[in-house]
Amino acid sequence: MGSRVGWRDVTAFSALAYGLSWAWWAPSVWPYLGHITLTRALPNVVEGGSIRVPLGMFGPLLAAVIMRLFVSREGVRATLGFVRPLRYYAVAFAVPAVFIALVVVVDHASGLGRFNPSRTLGVAVPTVVFLGGVLGLPLTLGEEYGWRGYLLPRLLPLGEIKATLIVGVIWAVWHLPILLIGLNYPEQSLMMVLPVFGITVLLIAFPFTWLYVDSRASVTAVALMHSVLNATGDTFTSSRYLEGNPLVVSAGGLVATAMLLMMVLIGGALRYSKRT
């Protein structure tokens, strides 16, 4: 891995990932820019089913492939890390599913949200976790092949904490165009959305880094964890199941953020204590 960070490659990859995704999203975002302010409710374009939003998720993958083939010239062979012990895939399924279950329990028990399932959970839970997680894998590979597969290993010489924070910031800001048109928080104000989303992404980046490092650079395992988190969070903390303000009770809300912070602090302390 080396002891130095290739900042040229980091910068070039990041600019390319932003450019590809933002250019693709621009036609969906441009019509609303003149109406967006810090305090006005954001439009709800993402939930309308525009194909542009999910396809733009492949920007980081394309950027990483371009960098590997034409800049760093290391090629793309064996860069998915697919063949790994099953325990890493078990973690990828279990950790986000348990986390979202705990978020829902805290939301409901605290009175901040009201959990009212629209389907029998005995059917919905395994369907969403396993089928939803697998079906969503191509989209999250579109992100993770870039963020964790290309960017993270180039920053790891700085140490896991610094590398994760830098990746987290780049990853969070990359979402800005689709946040403006309602990703995760439709009808909420930008003033509230930006800090809540930014902190949540920074915290989520830590378990993704840990799984990537522990699984010996398995982008597939991290993408699966990302996909299961998306599937369970988007389903069980959506208005179909959970009533409440999404800024508070959703998978990207304040309750989840507080729980993530505790988990990252505890998990980080345990992780780094083993190395000293």
Which of 116-125, 132-141, 189-198 is predicted with the least confidence, judged by mean pLDDT?
Answer: 116-125
User: How many Cα atoms sit within 13 Å of 259 on the Cβ side?
Assistant: 20
The C-alpha atoms of residue 141 and residue 129 are separated, in whole angstroms, by 17
The C-alpha atoms of residue 184 and residue 178 are separated, in whole angstroms, by 9
Q: At what angle do helices 7-29 and 160-174 cross, to 10 degrees?
A: 20
The model's pTM: 0.95
How far is the CA of 175 from the CAs of 108, 130, 182, 220, in angstroms? 29, 26, 11, 21
Close Cβ partners of 140 (under 8 Å, ≥ 6 residues apart)? 57, 223, 224, 226, 227, 230
Q: What is the pLDDT of residues 230-252, one digit of tens each?
A: 999 999 999 889 999 999 999 99
CA angle (53 as vertex; 48, 59 as ends), nearest 5: 175
Q: What is the pLDDT of residues 3-21, one digit of tens each?
A: 688 899 999 999 999 999 9
Q: What is the pLDDT of residues 26-61, one digit of tens each?
A: 999 999 999 999 999 999 888 766 788 999 999 999
